[in-house]
Chains A and B, each alone.
Chain A
Amino acid sequence: MRALALGRVVARRALSGVLVLWGAATITFAALHTVKGDPALVLMGGEEANPSPEALAAVREEYGFDKPLWVQYGIYFSRLLHGNLGDSYQQHRSVLSAIGIQLGPTIVLALSTAVVAVVLALAVALATAGRGPTVAGAVNAVTTVLSSVPGFVLGIALLFVFSALLPILPSAGNAGAASLVLPVVTLALPIAAHLVQVLQPELDEVLEQPFILTARTRGASVASTKIRHALRHCLMPIATMTGFVVAGLLGGAVLVETVFSRQGLGRLATAAVSNQDLSLVLGVVLFAALVFVLVNLAVDVVYSLLDP
């Protein structure tokens, strides 16, 4: 019975996921094409280049800019269904390969950040839960500041301290674990702060429940009570926060990759938007939508397992 229900959840979610992807692609396509202007001029370097008439004509023909919009839309979607995302104007390669090249470093950054943020949030929440209003107030103050400081400011400040004043960490690049430290901290601190803000009151509440007292009277230590009993009740809110965390990771990657001169999807997305690289923007949007669809699917599955 339970497997059947789960299957139904997955099927429903998968279907709505496809609709989300189609919607995301259509809206982005429409938004990019309602912008006034001739994309052929832009992708030949805008006013900053001096291309020949032949080169301009080649671009118009290659990308179908001379065709009506609905025809371009049709071409785009039929290509999409065949798994062809088209070519990036600026990157001089296919959209798939442009995303593929930048994907690895962003995954490394995002996963490291997710682990650091969750571990940090759990540690802080567990250490400070049930310690009375003064501690709770202090935690609240610190996390409010951290969660509202712009990532840009935090990143530049960390860079200034740890790679300019005390030159112990590199300021740029993806070379080795050392180059990962500052970007991960920049990205993880605000996310961890948000998680603590959700977790800590939840833990405080749980710690006042009768079953905690029961456990304590059976001789369990404070720490083990918190970890073995209270924490389990916080799994639901953490699962709920997953979407927020993923959004923070993808959005934050744009800033962090720029500040720390790292290779990655965020930097690719920025370049694509500022260069009006239509195919690449569509590709990145579709990719982000796909990540959200998959994450939401996973969260729904976890929900139905935790709380059938």
Chain B
Amino acid sequence: MTSLLTRTDHRRTRSRRVAIALAVLTTATALTACSGGADRTAAKAPAALTDQAAVANLAKAPARDDPNAVEGGTLKLSMSQDPVCLDGGQVSTAALQVLGRLYYDNLTTLDADGTPQPWLARSWDLSGDGKTYTFHLRKGVTFSDGTAFDAKAVVANFDHWRAPATKSPLAGAYIAPIKSTKVLDANTLQVKLSYPYSAFLNVLAQGWLGLTSPRQLATASNQEICEAPVGTGPFVVDKYTPGESLTLHRRKDYDWSASYLNHKGPAYLDAVDINFVSEASVRYSSLTSGEFDATDAVSPQNAVAVASNPNFVYRNIARQGNPSRLTLNTSRAPFNDVRVRRALSEGIDLDGIVKTLSYGQFGPQHAYLAPTTPYADKGANGRFVHDPQNAAKLLDEAGYSKKDAEGYRVGKDGKRLTAYLPVAQSTSPSPFNDLFQAEAKKLGLDVKIQQVTAAESASRRATGDYDLTTGVWHTNTPDGLYVLYSSNEITSKERIGQNSARLTDKELDTLLLKARQTTDPAQLKKLYKDAELRLEQLVPAIPLYDNYTSWAVNKDVHGVPADSSHGVPLFTLAWKDGGK
């Protein structure tokens, strides 16, 4: 199962493993100091963190370009993860959140508030039934191989993502609602969906769904596209060396950056040189020595040092979408009983666990949607209660009133209250598992952590053979709730779904489906609030903390906002002092 922290989101990031191993060693004892309050107390607001901020604040680009900005120079970036393949259509790796913005552009973008805005589609119309989008495309845009960007090019990309031969793990599924496309003229494209899908414009803005030259799609093999995708982006891929580096140079005739950036013309930097540095400690030391200008993943144990270093701008951003969570398998005992689920949620010291494992860098989050997500209910976090006494009462009521010699609760059948948590083998497992296991013991729940291989983990996930699993699903829309909790999204033999709680609730299904089929903001607000309230009744998962992305940039580098979709550093407007 995806372990917390060791993977910052569903796209693999190994970046933090070493950091976490060290974190366990140094702070494993801290939890014993945390005790559960006996009173029914409302959740406290997250403590002030080092530069914790929502994407909304940091994605706001200035209204016009900085008059001091100078052209030239090479930005040296260390990244935690080698994407293995640069084609966003063929991978689901987190690296594409940063990389895609360098060599691709998208049809749409989000603005700082998370609302879809024009990019290569300069406008769009939506039919009354919410099923037909007509995109009016920007003119004069070209791919770096000289091919013109037009409606046919967009269709070629949709076809590439959906072709079984592409084996797309992400982009293909995101555009699955597309039923048909029709080129009305060179710059107008009609897209018909099989059902209304309110997140469509949001997902089109994600880094994986950048547009590739139709000429390359038609003539190159998938492997060749992996090595050097040809996009319309501000930079062009020079050389990708798998397992080591990626170099890009600026496109001088670029003039179509995303609308929320308020920028005309090409990027300032001559080139971007990227090295893939998997060790967190090496990324930290090579950043402070000045070898790199920026790094995309600062590990929690280096965060305070980087944040307090006057040479760097440090960002620790709580991203929109779904928080990191502990998911409970609602399809079998003991978590098929909502009382046991609620007992776990209310009975353990979640805030203490989160504080310990993140070195205080993550604020606890108890809502099912990060408050920075459009239409998220701002009151959700405050509704959470920590109440070990009520938890004990709930467990008594559920039939686990007796305790065995070791202090674990025992059911009416005489069997110990046990939950299995399979985790994929890792050289540095997440500290969450052990911290949680110790807390659950206080409640009388025996958590069995099982080390399994990735393949076994995936198979047990498919058959529902687990009680607990951890993870986070990163997306840029509240539709992430549908992905995680709709009964359509349960993994089967045919399909990998993300509803690992295996939750089947008609009321919730209806709410989430309606939200997908609505584009009216007032209705969406109501539907998502109702969905959150329903989730709070069902407790299919225990939200833990927001989905953070932490990065740092040298003070010499200016003009690096957070990407409005992913919160990662965006280099389209970046410039270096003296242009060196």
Contacts and interface: CB of A to CB of B under 8 A. Distances in A.
Contact of B169 (A45, A105, A170): A45
A51 B1 contact: no
Interface in B260-300: 275-279, 281-282, 285-286, 288-291
Interface stretch (B148-156, B170-178, B350-358, B525-533): B170-178
Contacts of A257: 243
Chain B interface extent, by class: 35 or more
Nearest to A166: B289
Given A57-B164, A90-B84, A156-B281, A173 B286 contact: no
A227 B456 CA distance: 58
Interface of A: 35-39, 41-42, 44-59, 90-93, 98, 101-102, 105, 156, 159-160, 163-164, 167, 170-175, 257-264, 267-268, 271, 274-276
Contacts of A171: 277, 282, 285-286, 289, 291
B218 interface: no
Given A49-B10, A92-B222, A263-B242, A258 B278 contact: yes
B169 A49 contact: yes
B49 to A, nearest CB: 26
Given A55-B164, A58-B164, A49 B170 contact: yes
A261 B496 contact: no
Given A92-B84, A92-B85, A42 B285 contact: no
Contact of A58 (B167, B453, B460, B471): B167
Nearest to A101: B242
Given A48-B2, A93-B226, A159-B282, A59 B167 contact: yes
Contacts of A267: 243
Most buried by B among A54, A98, A160: A54
A97 to B, nearest CB: 8
A159 B92 contact: no
Given A36-B453, A58-B164, A261 B282 contact: yes
Interface in B220-243: 222-223, 226, 241-243
B495 interface: yes
A167 B223 CA distance: 38
B282 A42 contact: no
Nearest to B12: A48
5 contacts: A41-B496, A44-B496, A160-B285, A167-B291, A175-B245
B223 A92 contact: yes
B429 to A, nearest CB: 13
Interface string B467-503: 0010100000000000100000001001111101000
Contacts of B87: 92
Contacts of A170: 291
B275 to A, nearest CB: 5
B169 A164 contact: no
Most buried by B among A46, A57, A267: A46
A276 B455 contact: yes
A102 B242 contact: yes
Given A38-B455, A41-B459, A48-B92, 11 more contacts: A41-B461, A41-B462, A47-B469, A52-B173, A55-B167, A92-B222, A102-B243, A164-B288, A171-B286, A171-B289, A261-B78
A163 B285 contact: yes
B165 A38 contact: no
A257 B244 CA distance: 10
A173 B245 contact: yes
Contact of A174 (B2, B244, B452, B471): B244
B454 interface: yes
A181 B174 CA distance: 46
B455 A42 contact: yes
A37 B173 contact: no
Contacts of B11: 48
Contacts of B172: 51-52, 55
A73 B275 CA distance: 38
Nearest to B241: A263
A261 B166 CA distance: 29
A272 B287 CA distance: 28
Contacts of B242: 91, 98, 101-102, 263
Contacts of A268: 243
B168 interface: yes
Contact of B458 (A46, A163, A260, A274): A46
Nearest to A58: B164
B90 interface: yes
Contact of B176 (A37, A41, A52, A174): A52
B286 A172 contact: yes
Contacts of B243: 102, 257, 262-264, 267-268, 271
Contact of A163 (B12, B289, B457, B494): B289
Given A49-B170, A51-B496, A171-B282, A36 B483 contact: no
A260 B226 CA distance: 24
Contacts of B462: 38, 41
Interface in B41-89: 78, 82, 84-85, 87
A273 to B, nearest CB: 10
Given A37-B456, A92-B85, A267-B243, A47 B2 contact: yes
Contacts of B222: 92
A174 B239 CA distance: 14
Contact of A50 (B167, B461, B494, B497): B497
Nearest to B85: A92
A207 B560 CA distance: 67
B225 to A, nearest CB: 9
B454 A42 contact: yes
Contacts of B500: 47
Given A90-B84, A92-B222, A261-B275, A47 B457 contact: yes
Contacts of A160: 285
A40 B279 CA distance: 29
